[in-house]
Amino acid sequence: MGPGCSRTCHACMVSGTMGVEATIGLPESAPPSPVGPPGAPPFISLSLLSFASLPFTASLPMSSCRTLIQPHGRRCWLRKCGVRYAERMASYRFPRIPQFGPFDTPDFLRTFGIDCSIGRFTAIGSRNLDSADRVAVFIPGFTGSKEDFIPFFPALWKALGIHEGVMDDFPDGQGGADRVSGIAGRSTAIVAYSQRGQADSVAPTDRHAYGLDDFVADGCEILERLGARDRPVDLVGHSFGGVVARRVALRRPELLRSLTVFDSGAVPVRRTPLFAAAPTLIRVFGPMLLYYAYRPKLRDEPQGDKLAELFRQNMHATSRHHLASVADFMTRFDDVTDDLRRLHDGGGNDDDDFTGGDATNRRRGLPMNIMYGVDDDVWPTAVYDREAEALGIAPIAFDDAAHIPTYDRPEEFAAALVDFWRRA
């Protein structure tokens, strides 16, 4: 650095159209200090400005920069930085978006957008998304949205903290730097996204844009946007979200570290006369038809119960084409258990159209997990047990829990999920 340069300089690493802003902390009177074991090359500490507006520190070897920091008055610029590193860190930056729904967002979470080819999906995730070694991604079910997981995520965050030995449970407004460092120090991040047409996510106006394959393609693209090529995710799907998650795993197994589905059947739901008529009725009368069907005693007005109010707001915001299409194909999708068994056993998918190209995942097998509430009224619990038996795994059942055990038994569900991830 030349004389007169500022203590903290700004660098912009750009590759094509993707860029990432970083702050480079350098002493005014000394070169960067070595980081790592003796004999390791010197590192530049990059404090990345993440989507959460919190600083997360990453270290980049100076040898990978291939050029020096050059003084420009009071600013210095880091040029020709490692292209792969720049692209990867740029891909982890997401725009902040307004909160949706009645829940207050816990301090360790932030809402953000994920821009994909179809448009912007909305997501909620922990602030350590940029720096975490491991990421878990949750897909919501029919009539749901990413907000379905807000009541559950504090229990999961606590369970992860106990497992990692990092606790940052400060009362609101307290903790200061300790809170920030505690969140940034977590090795596992958690994310949930709303699928196309759900709540405030992108909603195509074409009624034919909501096939099961469309949701699967979205899931694959979102995982890539979250960096799953370099950092495979633990994918979790609830109900309809589990139907999507299974097919994401089959299409792109290299993007996954593990697969969990809960209260999600391997076979279609029973096609009753009401289910058969539902797609037409939803398209004619709109999503609020489901609100009155599921909550017949409630009016269309703000509800004191936040779960009821979330459902009401979801029905006002969710696309009728989304709901009608999902109600239709949930009664007639194919059972992919045999393909999942081959993937779980390490044999991959024998289909010639299989596009998951990671031979390692296929060789060693993808860890899989099935969880459900014993009082589930959407699929018979025997459906879950049969799939688990076919996959050669033991399902995890929760007493006193119905179709959404994350609501009914959050602590027990979180502990079981973290234990599975630990063993996966």
Instruction: Indicate whether 73 and 158 sit together in one domain.
Output: no
- CATH number of the domain encompassing residue 213: 3.40.50.1820
Instruction: Indicate whether 69 and 168 sit together in one domain.
Output: no
**CA within 13 Å, CB half, 59:** 10
First to last CA, the chain: 47
Instruction: Indicate whether 249 and 375 sit together in one domain.
Output: yes
Instruction: Indicate whether 61 and 117 sit together in one domain.
Output: no
Residues lower than pLDDT 50 in the chain: 1-87, 89-91, 170-181, 350-362
- Residue 98 domain flag: no
Instruction: Indicate whether 195 and 76 sit together in one domain.
Output: no
- Residue 76 domain flag: yes
Tally of domains in the chain: 2
Instruction: Indicate whether 153 and 242 sit together in one domain.
Output: yes
Instruction: Indicate whether 151 and 19 sit together in one domain.
Output: no
CA R_g for the chain: 23
What pLDDT, on a 0 to 100 scale, did the predictor assign at position 43?
A: 36
**Domain boundary, last residue among 91, 119, 140:** 91
- Residue 362 domain flag: yes
**Domain boundary, last residue among 41, 58, 91:** 91
What pLDDT, on a 0 to 100 scale, did the predictor assign at position 93?
A: 75
Instruction: Indicate whether 253 and 349 sit together in one domain.
Output: yes
User: With the CA atoms of 86, 92, 95 and 99 taken in that order, what torsion angle do they form, in degrees rounded to the nearest 10?
Assistant: -170
CB atoms under 10 Å from CB of 54, counted, come to 18
Distance, CA of 86 to CA of 14 (rounded, Å): 7
Report pLDDT digits (tens) over 216-256: 999 999 999 999 999 999 999 999 999 999 999 999 999 99
Contacts of 83 (CB under 8 A, 6+ apart): 15
Contacts of 72 (CB under 8 A, 6+ apart): none
Residue 334 belongs to domain spanning: 109-423
User: With the CA atoms of 67, 71, 75 and 78 taken in that order, what torsion angle do they form, in degrees rounded to the nearest 10?
Assistant: 0
- Residue 324 domain flag: yes
Report pLDDT digits (tens) over 147-181: 999 999 999 999 999 877 765 554 443 444 444 44
- Residue 2 domain flag: no
Instruction: Indicate whether 418 and 362 sit together in one domain.
Output: yes
Q: Which residues pair with 120 in a beta bridge?
A: 115
CB atoms under 10 Å from CB of 146, counted, come to 26
**Domain boundary, last residue among 64, 91, 118:** 91
Instruction: Indicate whether 195 and 63 sit together in one domain.
Output: no
- Residue 353 domain flag: yes
Kindly state the greatest CA–CA separation across the chain: 79
What pLDDT, on a 0 to 100 scale, did the predictor assign at position 207?
A: 96
Question: 58 φ, ψ to 5°?
Answer: -130, 155
- Residue 284 domain flag: yes
Instruction: Indicate whether 223 and 286 sit together in one domain.
Output: yes
Give the predicted TM-score (pTM) of the model: 0.76
- Residue 418 domain flag: yes
What pLDDT, on a 0 to 100 scale, did the predictor assign at position 363?
A: 54
Instruction: Indicate whether 84 and 114 sit together in one domain.
Output: no
